[in-house]
Amino acid sequence: MSDNPESGTSNPTRRTRVVREPQRAVYDRDTVNQILDEAFLCHVGFAVDGQPFVIPTSYGRDADMLYIHGSAASRMLRNLNQGVPVCITVTLLDGLVLARSVFNHSMNYRSVVILGTATLVDDPAEKLAALRALSEHIIPQRWDDSRPPNETELKATSVLRLPISEFSAKVRVGPAVDDEEDYSFPTWAGVIPLEMNSGTPIRDARCERDLPAYLKNCSRRKNL
């Protein structure tokens, strides 16, 4: 559980304590928030009638609350609003680590695991605020520049909240780590950095408006 709902270091639970490569574990809420704010997609794991499912979806964060949304008729949301325990994961891939041996090849990454029980957002004001958080998470300033959802669309959409209270992060940075006897092996070793970049915006055929400033040179890290 978290010592502080806004910042600081959490105490990992039995379920969130990193066992494999524990030196890569991070239990700092600020680090977790930074990873969540930079990524676009999460994977939601849950079970229905004993069968496991993992569904990719977008999300939004508001302080220590994570929101996911989807069609009110979707199997995932129909089951999650009944209080089914979930596991949400988010991963950012920062680089390919090429070692001298295939066994020691790796990746530089930042990942988050959040465990808990998602609940349905019933309050109309919170639901609208959650949808705004989802929109602003993808493209900041886009919500105010778009038509807001109407009543029919709101009824067709379910929003679930999950407290970011039981979590852990795992981070791998740095160069390749080889066995000492392999450092003399004659092959290239190092890191190939990876990053997410936006391409040139493509105007819709029926759009007559100039590209707004917030979409020019759109960069995830710049927005952060």
Task: For residue 171, give the CATH number of its domain.
Answer: 2.30.110.10
Q: Is residue 187 part of a domain?
A: no
104 in a domain, yes or no?
Answer: yes
Task: Name the pairing type of β-strands 51-62 and 157-163.
Answer: unpaired
pTM, full prediction: 0.89
**Amino acid making up residue 152:** T
Report whether 157 contacts 81 (CB < 8 A): no
Secondary structure of residue 136 in the 3-state scheme: helix
Count up the domains in the chain and report the number: 1
162 token code pair:
């999950």
- Show the tokens assigned to 66: 């994570």
Structure tokens given for 88: 């949400």
Per-position pLDDT tens, the chain of length 224: 333 334 456 688 999 999 988 999 999 999 999 999 999 999 999 888 888 999 999 999 999 999 999 887 777 777 777 777 999 999 999 999 999 999 999 999 999 999 999 999 989 999 999 999 999 999 999 999 999 999 999 999 999 999 999 999 999 999 999 999 999 999 999 999 999 888 899 999 999 999 999 998 777 664 55
With H, G, I as helix, E, B as strand and everything else as coil, classify residue 15.
Answer: coil
CB count within 10 Å of CB 64 equals 17
73 falls within a domain: yes
Q: Considering the domain boundaries, does residue 64 fall inside one?
A: yes
Backbone angles phi, psi at 187, to 5 degrees: -140, 160
Confirm whether 196 is domain-assigned. Answer: no
Tell me, yes or no, whether 137 lies in a domain.
yes
Show the domain range for 93: 22-179
**212 lies in some domain:** no
- Residue 222 falls inside a structural domain: no
